[in-house]
Amino acid sequence: MNTTVPSAGTGTAGTATGGTSSPLPAPCSPLPVIAGGVPDDAAARLERYTAAERLRWAAETFGGRAAIGTSFQGAGIVALHLAAEAGLKLAVFTLDTGLLFPETLALKAALEARFGIEIESVRPRLSLDAQAAEYGAALWERDPDLCCQLRKVMPLSDKLASLDCWLTGVRREQAASRAVTGILERNERAGGRVLWKLNPLADWSRNQVWAHIRANDLPYNPLHDAGYRSIGCSVCTRPSGACDADERAGRWTGFNKTECGIHTFLKQSSTTTKP
Ligand code: SF4
C-alpha cells in the first residue's frame, strides 16, 4: 500500500499553512458566499484551500453557471471524484473533436456510470468531412493551430458563453507554459462579461493525482499504461518518455506547439501567482 497517498481533496496548498499567523482563514473555514459576486480576495483565499473546498465554493457561488470541463486526464478524473464525494451538483462537459481515441470515449462512459452523471459532449460546428471540404484533408498535419481553433477553441468559446465559472484540470507541474496558473483566474469576454476560471488541482503534483486515482480505484484511460502521459486527439498524440520533464511532450510531435489554445485564448484580467 502506498503510504504517501493524499487524503481526498488535500492539495499541497492545504498542508502548507498550518501553524502560521496568516490573516487568511484556516483551510477548513468556509469562504463567505456573496450573492451575485466573488469576494475581492477570493483568489488569494482559494490558494490556501483544498481542492474539494474549491469545488464546493464554485458550486455554492455559481450553481448551474459553473461546469467542469475535462478531457479525462488524471486531474479531471480526480475533480469528478471529489465533486461526487462531496455531493456537489456541478455540470460536466468534454470537447469531442470527433478524433478522440476509442479508449477515451469508453472512459467517458465508465465515469458516467461510476459517478451517476451525464457528461455533455461539446462538438465542433464543422463535421470532419465539412472541415476537409473547406480546408483540405488532415488539416492537423498541416496547420494544427487552425485545426485546434476549429475543433476545440471555437466550440469551447461557444460553451463558455453559458457559464460564469469554468473548472479545469490544469496543473502547474504539467508544462512550463502552465507554471504560473492561478487557482482562480478572472477573464473578460466580449462586452466586458466576466468569466471565472477555477483550476482546483493546479497545485497538485502528478504523483498526488495518480496516488488518488489508485487509492480510490477510479477508472482511467488505459493508454496511460501504454506510455501516453497526456492524451488528446488520436492523430496528434504519441507516447512520451516516462522521464520527459514535460508531461505534454507527446502532443503535436514535430510541431512547435504545446497548447491547443483552449487555455490561452481567453483574455485574463487578473491572476494570482503561486503562494
Ligand atoms: S489535437 Fe490535432 S486533431 Fe485535435 S483539434 Fe488539435 S490539431 Fe486537430
* pLDDT above 50 for 52: yes
Confidence of residue 6 (pLDDT cuts 50, 70, 90): very low
Residue 213 near residue 220 (C-beta atoms within 8 A)? yes
Confidence of residue 24 (pLDDT cuts 50, 70, 90): very low
- pLDDT exceeding 70 applies to what percent of the chain? 79
Instruction: With CA atoms as reference, report the closest residue to 24 among 51, 46, 53, 57.
Output: 46
Q: Which of 122, 123, 125, 152 has the most ligand 1 atoms within 8 A of CB, as the residue to mutate?
A: 152
Q: Which three cell numbers stand for residue 8?
A: 481526498
What are the phi and psi torsion angles at 23 (to 5°)? Answer: -70, -10
Q: Does ligand 1 lie within 6 Å of residue 232's CB atom?
A: yes
Residue 249, pLDDT score: 62
Where is pLDDT greater, at 188 or 272?
A: 188
**pLDDT tens digits along 146-167:** 999 999 999 999 999 999 999 9
pLDDT, averaged across the chain: 84
CA nearest ligand 1 atom 5, residue: 148
What would the DSSP string read from start to end of 88-124? ---EEEEE--S-B-HHHHHHHHHHHHHHT--EEEE--
Instruction: With CA atoms as reference, report the closest residue to 251 among 135, 152, 133.
Output: 152
Could you tell me the distance, in angstroms and rounded to a whole number, from the CA of residue 226 to the centre of ligand 1? 21
Q: Which of 123, 125, 235 has the most ligand 1 atoms within 8 A of CB, as the residue to mutate?
A: 235
Find the mean pLDDT for residues 15-33.
44
Residue type, 191: G
Q: Which residue has the cell 469576494?
A: 39
**pLDDT tens digits along 93-123:** 999 999 999 999 999 999 999 999 999 999 9
Find the mean pLDDT for residues 57-75.
96
Give, for 132, the enclosing helix (H) or strand (E): helix 128-135
**Residues 3-34, buried b or exposed e (16+ Cβ, 10 A)?**
eebbebbbbebbeebeeeeeeeeebeeebeee
Q: Which of 148, 233, 236, 260 is catalytic?
A: 260
Confidence of residue 32 (pLDDT cuts 50, 70, 90): low
Question: pTM of this prediction?
Answer: 0.85
CA nearest ligand 1 atom 7, residue: 144
Could you tell me the distance, in angstroms and rounded to a whole number, from the CA of residue 159 to the centre of ligand 1? 18
For helices 206-215 and 74-85, the axis angle rounded to 10 degrees is 50
Q: Which CATH architecture has domain 46-267?
A: 3-Layer(aba) Sandwich (3.40)
Q: What is the DSSP letter of 6?
A: P
Residue 230, pLDDT score: 87
CA nearest ligand 1 atom 1, residue: 233
How many C-beta atoms lie closer than 10 Å to residue 157's C-beta?
Answer: 15
Q: Strands 267-270, 165-167: parallel, antiparallel or unpaired by DSSP?
A: unpaired
SS3 57: helix
Q: CA distances (Å), 216 to each of 1, 7, 73, in order?
A: 12, 10, 16
* pLDDT above 60 for 22: no
Residue type, 87: G
Has 147 been annotated as catalytic? no
Confidence of residue 261 (pLDDT cuts 50, 70, 90): confident
Where is pLDDT greater, at 216 or 264?
A: 216
